[in-house]
Amino acid sequence: MNKQTPLEQVNHEFSYHCEIHYESEHAFGYTRAVGNSIQDLLDDIYLRFKQYRDREPQIVEVLYLPKTEKINITPKIRALISMKPAHQSQK
């Protein structure tokens, strides 16, 4: 049985990786947002939040260089998201 977390199994070459969980019918579901720049990552996060807006999506963890260095930048990304005006996140 594989006991690795989703972030230990990143299968892409993007520089940034974000795990997002959301409510599902029986438990939680997970999706990811990725990008090669912080702006690309934020754009993808906003897209996922819009996609799962009725399911209370929340960021679990965000990593820079997820396959090698695994630098946790979750607090920085949460701060950037909280600073974005509400009318922009509805796009």
pTM assigned to the model: 0.80
CB 29 within 8 A of CB 8: no
The β-bridge partners of 61 are 19
What's the gap between Cα 48 and its chain centre? 8
| Phi-psi label, residue 30: left if phi above 0, alpha if psi -120 to 50, beta otherwise | beta
- The model's pLDDT over 7-39, given as tens digits with 9 standing for 90+, comes to 556 678 899 999 999 999 889 999 999 999 999
Each residue's pLDDT tens digit, 57-89: 999 999 999 989 999 999 999 999 988 765 454
Residues of 50-75 as b/e, b for ≥16 C-beta within 10 angstroms? eebeeeebebbbbbbebeeeeeebee
